[in-house]
Amino acid sequence: MPAPHLQSYKNRAAKHSNPAARALLRCMEAKKSNLAVSVDVTTTKDFFDIIEAVAPYVCLIKTHVDILEDWNPGVTTRLQHLSREHNFLIFEDRKFADIGNTVALQYSSGLYKISSWAHIVNAHPVPGPSIITGLASVGMKLQEERGLLLLAEMSTKGALTIGSYTVEAVRMAREHRDFVIGFIAQHRMESIGLSGTDDVVDEDFLILAPGVGLDSKGDAMGQQYRTPTEVVTQCGCDVIIVGRGIIGIGRDIDAEKVKEQARRYQTAGWEAYEKRIVTNQLLGE
């Protein structure tokens, strides 16, 4: 069987064992989009103006709900409604990083009750496998599409997510493949941490890559950008995560501009994916 990044999203959707991963891959195929938009704004007006503008072009909306200054429970109700109406999944970029008991409470409870509305969340592997156990104790109990991404590599200059840290992240994920659906990373992870004899043929981790920009190489705070071609065609990542490249940097949201940029990134991301798949077909896979 060819490596996951050489197979179509459609084939992978048919085979994936986790419902959230299946739903995401199906949505990507249906909308011809491997674009996730990071809606990093501080008012619910801007938040929904952006989501309504980009909804037709995305497979995933990535949120940081804790930066919304006027958050209220209606926000997540409306977000779920838009997710169904426009066929996209919701990823709360919470980056859990505590002991199992604490992350289970952070995921299920408090103001945000993240597990009740986010299809996908992420966690730093730093506490070890207990962080997965804690989150899975909530997510796996729900009769809903729920999955977890581990942060195996970060996009920022000088990130410590390298070498043995990344290897251990992948090992942890392999032990919990029912709930861990993939990684926030910059490359594919199949070859990480294997001796030549290990068998991983049925492993299909999704790679979601932040740090994507068509017009800029980085910001003044250590962020680093690569193009969709570098990320998807060359490094085999599955989803491009784009924030400021689409939503802009200024204070005012221009919905027409946001829509135009979303369309541009969707096209670039999908062309980069098709290039990867066509190359594979030419090789006779």
Question: Residues with catalytic annotation?
Answer: 93, 95, 98
Residue number with CB closer to ligand S5P (13 or 63): 63
- Lay out the site mask for ligand S5P across 141-180 (x = CB under 6 A, - = otherwise): -------------xx-------------------------
Asked whether 150 and 172 are in contact (CB, 8 A), the reply is yes
**244 has binding-site annotation:** yes
Report which residue type is found at 238: D
Residue from 210, 228, 236, 269 in contact with ligand S5P (CB under 6 A): 210
Residue 208 and residue 245: Cα distance in Å, rounded?
16
Q: Name the residue number minimizing CB distance to ligand S5P.
A: 243
Which ranges of the chain would DSSP assign to H, the alpha helix? 9-15, 19-31, 44-54, 73-86, 100-108, 130-139, 164-174, 228, 244-247, 255-282
Is 211 among the residues that bind ligand S5P (CB under 6 A)? yes
Residue 96 and residue 85: Cα distance in Å, rounded?
29
Is 29 among the residues that bind ligand S5P (CB under 6 A)? no
Residue number with CB closer to ligand S5P (13 or 36): 36
**32 has binding-site annotation:** no
Partners of 63 in beta bridges: 92
Report which residue type is found at 209: A
Is 46 among the residues that bind ligand S5P (CB under 6 A)? no
3-class DSSP state for residue 14? Answer: helix
Report which residue type is found at 197: T
Residues that bind ligand S5P (CB under 6 A): 38, 40, 93, 154-155, 184, 210-211, 223, 241-245
Q: Would you list which residues are annotated within the binding site for substrate?
A: 40, 62, 155, 223, 243-244
Q: Would you list which residues are annotated within the binding site?
A: 40, 62, 155, 223, 243-244
